[in-house]
Copies of this chain bind each other. A is one copy, B any other.
């Protein structure tokens, strides 16, 4: 770690941990720190981060604060939703999808301010360090990366707080005691893990949930909503056209009210261990189901089945941090190609923890009541064709059966 660093761009939340990192970077590397604080819809004010950075000695022109909510949803969440990506069959990848955008912005700022390094506050056990750093390296192959949690000796809460106090970093009262779990939040989801969640046999305590009503407390009446899609992306809720981030926020509020999108999961991290997390993805869960619903009538079977196979790979790449990789982009090209006609309206029922598709319609529908009907179809489909279809599909099995008996 002896190389000299001149200027480092830090992903800065304004919280205790990244404030300690800020100071530690200044001390350890004797370098200038540039802070980057992004609004990804995590639901926190950003201006306090500015004040705190200034307090810690960061020059005003080196404090970057950006509202990335629309870019986040339009260019990251929506492409992922087109893929119907679920990691390990269930996780909607809410943390994974935010990291590449933060990494990209840090690199842009590093170029703007002539920084030679970037830094983040992710620990050495998790996936986020990988996602940040693969992003940095893909976009700026020769950047220096500083991951304090892998380097420093502040491995206990006490050491961290002692460091903070020794360096005039304000420590709010509620941070003195340790949080009983750790969270990450953005417009798509809130994740919680650690501490009280570490025993996968124990139910997640109520107080861990922050983004959704409990199903028990949700309204006793179901709510019906519609989501409109254009080329695979949601564009309106209940007929009201909305920008990507606004739309996701609208669905979040609906999902929150009805207790939708809670997930208790033990997952496999890229670094090789299992971890237990709890995710709340209210709007994203609705969006995922709605997208599947509109694809049901607008997507051809061949395209749909290929997508189902590719989605497994795609989700794995995102989870592992390979957003900026040729293979993710290849999959995206294939997926996006399939979405040209994925337009129409989906109707969903929200009720006490569940979202269900109850109707879908589209000017591009491939569903043909005239063909599928049990009634007379006026010759649209000749049932005798099925005999030949089956005979030839069976031919190889018959040859096998003759050879092998059963």
Contact = CB atoms under 8 A, between A and B. Distances in A.
A204 B349 CA distance: 12
Interface string A5-44: 0000000000000000000000000000000000000000
A222 interface: yes
A201 B313 CA distance: 32
A385 B374 contact: no
Nearest to A386: B124
A200 B300 contact: no
Contacts of A313: 306, 309
A56 interface: no
Given A389-B271, A397-B324, A125 B308 contact: no
Contacts of A140: 401, 406
B141 A358 contact: no
A63 B330 CA distance: 43
A183 interface: no
Interface string A198-216: 1111111000000000011
Nearest to A316: B305
B397 A325 contact: yes
B327 A201 contact: no
A58 interface: no
A357 interface: yes
A52 interface: no
Contact of A398 (B125, B141, B194, B335): B141
Contacts of A84: 89
A216 B351 contact: yes
A186 to B, nearest CB: 21
Contacts of A150: 383-384, 386-387
A304 B273 contact: no
Nearest to A104: B406
A112 interface: no
Contacts of A242: none
B326 A201 contact: no
A390 B134 contact: yes
Given A202-B359, A303-B326, A134 B273 contact: no
A237 B130 CA distance: 41
B274 A296 contact: yes
Interface stretch (A69-77, A162-170, A248-256, A362-370): A362-370
A50 interface: no
A323 to B, nearest CB: 11
A51 interface: no
Interface in A326-352: 326-327, 329-331, 333-338, 341, 347, 349, 351-352
A90 interface: yes
Given A201-B347, A308-B89, A403 B273 contact: no
Given A88-B304, A306-B330, A307-B330, 14 more contacts: A202-B359, A264-B357, A267-B296, A272-B392, A273-B371, A276-B372, A299-B326, A300-B400, A302-B322, A303-B330, A341-B404, A352-B354, A371-B399, A384-B388
Interface of A: 84, 88-90, 123-125, 129-130, 133-134, 137-142, 147, 149-150, 155-156, 182, 194-195, 198-204, 215-216, 220, 222, 262, 264-268, 271-276, 292, 296-297, 299-309, 312-313, 316, 321-322, 324-327, 329-331, 333-338, 341, 347, 349, 351-354, 356-361, 364-369, 371-374, 376, 381-404, 406
6 interchain residue pairs of minimum CB distance: A388-B388, A124-B383, A272-B395, A385-B388, A268-B301, A141-B398
23 contacts: A88-B305, A123-B383, A125-B381, A133-B394, A138-B394, A140-B406, A141-B399, A149-B383, A194-B374, A198-B372, A199-B369, A203-B347, A203-B349, A262-B356, A273-B399, A274-B368, A300-B396, A300-B399, A305-B316, A309-B309, A326-B337, A330-B334, A353-B354
